[in-house]
Amino acid sequence: MSDAKVIPFGEEPRSKRRSRRGGTGRTHRAAAPLAPVPQPREERRSAGPQEPVERPAAASGGSPSAAGPGWERRLAHGLEFLRRRITGDYEVDEFGFDRELTDQVLMSALRPLYEKYFRVEVRGVENIPEKGAALVVANHSGTLPVDGLMLQVAVHDHHPAGRHIRMLAADLVFALPVVNEISRKLGHTLACAEDAGRLLERGEVVGVMPEGFKGIGKPFSERYRLQRFGRGGFVSTALRAGAPIVPCSIVGAEEIYPMVGNSKTLARLLGLPYFPLTPTFPWLGPLGAVPLPTKWTIQFGEPVPTDGYPPEAADDPMLMFNLTDQVRETIQHTLYKLLVQRRSVFF
């Protein structure tokens, strides 16, 4: 980053960061498997794979060294969960968000990737309000939208009120089989003003990555350079709902699939917005699709309030551009700061 001449002032020294990483952020989570009676929040760990049929086997093989009663309790808990699933006795909201499945299965499936593989460090998650609507605006990168999923795990696992973030996704996600099904169950919905507005009205935390395909499909040489933030539609949606905008910077996702080329012909043939060529993909086949184990940092910034504006402000293009730029600048500067602090891509 030749243009990233940002002096890291007012931040803690590296040694301190290191101790913090193993400390405060994830203390309760690291201690969880040893607790004889797991807290309800911790029990999410015990959930098995996606297909309920395989569930008992996986649960019994899950934690052999854990204390006996805890293990049995988990099995009983798992059976209860299985019973609800196979009889269809659960609720989904109008977007198809399956809270139970997300908590018990999908989050547990993503957590190893989050904790062990990318070792995500979360900062400033308390900037997301305890209750009420908020719009989290994040940068988008990494060829595949892994950053959105990791952001969701980060909010889910670290927010003091245990809030769920509802990500907005591209229409391509909802056109693909399997991806669409899982995405809807995770609570994602289409990135459009109607859906975003509806979620904010219901007082949900909504996550949006306004760069879209321009951000996620940009070449490796342009890493950490924010692209245009769409047409700023997210700002007017937040203004209409009076929801604060929480800027969010994600470092580490850019390097998981270094996109050195883009086969436009293949992309056009497959109807995709881009077809990534990385040093390993597609040359090594499916093995090339394994992401690099980079070290991630997700930093939530100070919320930008939007409730002080008159109702007609949502249609004021100047204000839109100003707010969009303000949010974009905040994310860009935070990215540069985090990059300066970063010791290495992988550690």
| Alpha-carbon distances, residue 11 vs 158, 193, 248 (angstroms) | 21, 37, 17
Q: Work out whether 64 is an interface residue with another protein (CB under 8 A).
A: no
Dist CA 307 CA 206 (whole Å): 16
Cis preceding linkage at 303, omega within 30: no
Helices (H) and strands (E) in the chain, counts: 14, 9
Q: Does 58 bind another protein (CB under 8 A)?
A: no
Of 17, 45, 95, 289, the one binding another protein (CB under 8 A) is: 95
119 binds another protein (CB under 8 A): no
**Residues in contact with another protein, total (CB under 8 A)?**
42
Q: Is 288 in the site for another protein (CB under 8 A)?
A: no
Burial class (CB in 10 A: 0-12, 13-18, 19+), 45: middle
Binding part of the chain for another protein, among 72-80, 111-119, 214-222, 276-284 by CB under 8 A, reads 72-80
Select the span of 94-102, 229-237, 289-297, 329-337 touching another protein (CB under 8 A).
94-102
Q: How far is the CB of 66 from another protein (least distance, A)?
A: 12
276-277 vs 205-208, strand pairing mode: unpaired
In this structure, how many other beta carbons lie within 10 angstroms of the beta carbon of residue 73?
Answer: 16
Rounded to the nearest whole angstrom, what is the least distance from the CB of residue 199 to another protein in the complex? 9
Q: What is the 3-state secondary structure (H, E, C) of 203-219?
A: CCEEEECCCCHHHHCCC
Among the listed ranges 10-18, 25-33, 193-201, 338-346, the one in contact with another protein (CB under 8 A) is: 193-201
| Candidates 139-147, 173-181, 253-261, 266-274; binding stretch for another protein (CB under 8 A) | 173-181
For 141, residues 6+ apart whose C-beta sits below 8 A from its C-beta are 147, 215, 216, 218, 223, 224, 250, 253, 254
State which of residues 25, 63, 174, 272 lies at the interface with another protein (CB under 8 A): 174
Task: Check residue 181 for interaction with another protein (CB under 8 A).
Answer: yes
Q: Which stretch binds another protein (CB under 8 A): 8-16, 38-46, 179-187, 330-338?
A: 179-187
**Neighbour tally for 228: CB within 10 Å:** 13
Which residue number, 37 or 260, has a Cβ lying nearer to another protein?
37
Q: How far is residue 228's CA from residue 1's CA, in Å, rounded to a whole number?
A: 18
Cβ-based nearer residue to another protein, 166 or 218? 166
Binder among 94, 116, 221, 318 for another protein (CB under 8 A)? 94
Is residue 171 a contact residue for another protein (CB under 8 A)? Answer: yes
69 vs 305 by CB, closer to another protein = 69
CB nearer to another protein: give 74 or 295: 74
Q: Is 147 helix (H, G, I), strand (E, B) or coil?
A: helix
Q: With the C-alpha atoms ordered 218, 260, 143, 264, is the resulting torsion angle positive or negative?
A: positive
User: Does position 82 bind another protein by CB under 8 A?
Assistant: yes
Show the 3-state SS of 238-271: HHHHCCCEEEEEEECHHHCCCCCEECHHHHHHHC
Q: Which of 4, 66, 144, 179 touches another protein by CB under 8 A? A: 179
Instruction: Please give the Cα distance from 49 to 58 (Å, whole number).
Output: 7
Give residues in contact with another protein (CB under 8 A).
Answer: 56, 68-69, 72-73, 75-76, 79-80, 82-83, 85-96, 98, 171-172, 174-181, 184-185, 189-190, 192, 194-195, 198
